[in-house]
């Protein structure tokens, strides 16, 4: 099984490298600018989809059978979402940039630090006190080093689930279906 995972990762290396470049650019942009227009345009989702679309159109990954293509979606999720997002959100826990995808409303942080509310209750309480929805996009900053690491890992894990669904769907649509059509046509 490990051999198969290594082989699939090797086949997807160009996609992984592009995703890591985009993730690194997004991390730098998130920390140096508050302009959401700049950071929004740097998307790992779009980069992976574009690369897989190119691979599907050119037939570069046609040799990946369905089972290996699905495994490729999981490999992409771990390498392109878990690793970069765990690094980004853990770093944000320690540096607290306070804008963009790392923004935490001060009231949200205060309620989290009080320990009286869970996350959903915090959002409801913020909305009740301010009269508008809580704009917080990140989990509040942890109180200890271990808590900060755990929060970064948690976000990395959750985004891996979303990344796996996205990657598997993109592998099927962009690589699997075109490969099947070419195989049926004999080309």
Q: What is the pLDDT of residues 74-132, one digit of tens each?
A: 999 999 999 999 998 898 888 877 766 777 778 888 888 888 887 778 888 888 888 88
CA distance 36 to 187: 45
Q: List the one residue out of 2, 3, 4, 8 whose CA is nearest residue 167.
A: 8
The total number of structural domains in the chain stands at 1
Q: Does some domain include residue 90?
A: yes
Q: Is the pLDDT of residue 54 over 90?
A: yes
Grouping H, G, I as helix, E, B as strand and the rest as coil, residue 134 is coil
Q: Which domain holds residue 66?
A: 2-96+160-185
If you search the block for the tokens 């878990």, which residue do you land on? 82
What pLDDT shows up at residue 53?
92
Q: Does some domain include residue 154?
A: no
Residue of higher predicted confidence among 120 and 27? 27
Sign of CA dihedral 169, 60, 71, 167: negative
Q: List the one residue out of 71, 107, 105, 103 whose CA is nearest residue 89.
A: 103
CA distance 172 to 174: 6
């Amino acid at each position: 099984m490990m051999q198969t995972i290594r082989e699939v990762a090797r086949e997807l290396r160009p996609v992984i490298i592009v995703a890591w470049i985009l993730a690194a650019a997004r991390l730098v942009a998130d920390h140096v600018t508050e302009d959401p227009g700049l950071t929004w345009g740097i998307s790992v989702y779009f980069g992976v989809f574009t690369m897989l679309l190119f691979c599907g159109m050119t037939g570069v990954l046609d040799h990946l059978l369905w089972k290996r293509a699905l495994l490729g979606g999981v490999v992409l999720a771990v390498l392109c979402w878990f690793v970069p997002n765990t690094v980004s959100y853990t770093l944000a826990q320690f540096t607290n940039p306070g804008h963009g995808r790392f923004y935490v409303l001060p009231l949200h942080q205060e309620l989290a630090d009080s320990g009286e509310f869970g996350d959903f209750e915090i959002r409801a309480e913020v909305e009740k006190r301010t009269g508008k929805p809580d704009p917080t996009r990140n989990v509040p900053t942890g109180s200890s080093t271990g808590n900060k690491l755990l929060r970064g890992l948690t976000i990395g894990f959750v985004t891996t689930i979303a990344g796996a669904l996205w990657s598997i769907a993109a592998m099927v649509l962009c690589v699997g279906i075109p490969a099947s059509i070419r195989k049926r046509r004999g080309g």
